[in-house]
Amino acid sequence: TPNLREWAEEVRALAEERDAVILAHNYQRPEIQDVAHHTGDSLALSRLAAQVEASTIVFCGVHFMAETAKILSPDKTVLLPDPGAGCSLADTITAEDVRAWRAQYPDAVVVAYVNTTAAVKAETDICCTSSNAADVIRSIPEDREILFLPDQFLGAHVKRVTGRENIHVWMGECHVHAGIDGHTLRERVAAEPDAEVYVHPECGCATSALYLVGSGAVPQERVKVLSTGGMLTAAERTSAGKVLIATETGMLHQLRAANPHTVFEPVNPRAECHYMKMITAEKLLTALREGTTEITVEEDVAARARSSVERMIAIGS
Ligand code: 13P
Ligand code: SF4
């Protein structure tokens, strides 16, 4: 519509005036993904945040992502169009929880998923995202015990793919991905025997997906456990007629644009993250006009978190 076009032009003009780069996560609303300078998964966006030349980063995503950008680029201004855009997974653990857990395992290496607050990152040794979690674990000597936090499903997944026994997993979960459960996946797969399946490792059904393969119910090449960025790469290459997608539904916009020959359908169409959707067209415009809301991280917290985040962006493809 012309309105959307005018809005997009104004957004880009204001970004230029402010010397701002707009980064959007793959779960953002379609119009936000389309207007952003870069759209991607958590790892790709963190790498961009560390590298971009612009003096301001407008982060269209959730609070922990804007904090991560600020940790990596402390001299830049980082704006989050709605500071209330949180994350139910990040909320499952506090810095105090990490200190208490570490006290029980003083020799362990603490690995934190990027979906954590800056204060939690400051208590950890190394961060990871869903796309490099296994590589991060492999970078740690095999004889070291590992505390993996906060996502239980991603934790179980990395345990399986790395074969490491000595990983203790925090029992947190994301309410959106936990809701994409094994029962729903099995029903959908049975109804669509020719479809491929891409599953985000935060999903409650990640274990069922591998069980379906392990039990021989579904051939191995049909099921892939992937980060959102990994799903996009797989979508560009697939020749399948249909792919069932187990992740937040915002992902479908990128997948459909990347490959118009394949039909992409959600495993659970109600899997929507209301935090991600808090970034609206109107709020992005206000953020660019008024320079709101600036995200800051206390310097001593940022300094302690920085090395774990820098290790994360250095590992994996
Ligand atoms: P990725 O984009 O890294 O796969 O992360 C998914 C997610 O839940 C972010 O909130
Ligand atoms: Fe957090 Fe889940 Fe939303 Fe991702 S989808 S931001 S993990 S609540």
* Token pair 């959600």 in the structure block, residue: 266
Same domain flag for 186 and 242: yes
Q: Which residues contact 280 (CB under 8 A, 6 or more apart)?
A: 29, 32, 81, 82
Residue 209 sits in the same domain as residue 248? yes
**Confidence class for position 169, pLDDT limits 50, 70, 90:** very high
Q: Does a structural domain hold residue 29?
A: yes
**What amino acid occupies position 287?**
A
Q: Which of 152, 173, 194 is the last residue of a domain?
A: 173
Domains contained in the chain, number: 3
d(CA 202, CA 126): 19
Of 173, 191, 216, the residue at which a domain comes to its end is 173
Rounded CA-CA distance 313/46 in Å is: 7
Both structure tokens of 45 = 């966006």
Tell me, yes or no, whether 148 and 122 share the same domain.
yes
Beta strands in the chain (DSSP E): 20-25, 38-40, 56-60, 77-79, 109-113, 126-128, 146-149, 167-169, 196-199, 223-225, 242-246, 263-266
Band (1; pLDDT cuts 50, 70, 90): low
Is 174 touching ligand 2 by the criterion CB < 6 Å?
Answer: yes
Does residue 304 belong to any structural domain of this protein?
no
Q: Give the residue numbers spanning the domain of 283.
A: 2-86+276-297
Q: What is the rounded average pLDDT of the residues 71-78?
A: 98
Q: Which of 109, 144, 173 is the last residue of a domain?
A: 173
* Predicted confidence (pLDDT) at residue 151 exceeds the cutoff of 90: yes
Confidence of residue 134 (pLDDT cuts 50, 70, 90): very high
Tell me: ipTM over 0.95: yes
How far away, in angstroms, is 6 Cα from ligand 1 center?
Answer: 30
Model confidence band, residue 219 (pLDDT cutoffs 50, 70, 90): confident
Per the annotation, where are the binding residues for [4Fe-4S] cluster?
87, 174, 273
- What percentage of the chain exceeds 90 in pLDDT? 91
Same domain, 122 and 166: yes
In the chain, the amino acid numbered 196 is E
Ligand 2 center–CA 85 separation, angstroms? 10
CATH code for the domain of 149 = 3.40.50.10800
Whole-model pTM? 0.97
- The confidence score (pLDDT) of residue 2 equals 65
Contact assessment for residue 126 and residue 311, using Cβ atoms and an 8 Å cutoff: yes
Tell me whether residue 317 is in a domain.
no
- Is residue 247 in a domain? yes
Taking the C-alpha atoms of residue 178 and residue 163, their distance in angstroms, rounded to an integer, is 23
Does residue 82 sit in the same domain as residue 153?
no
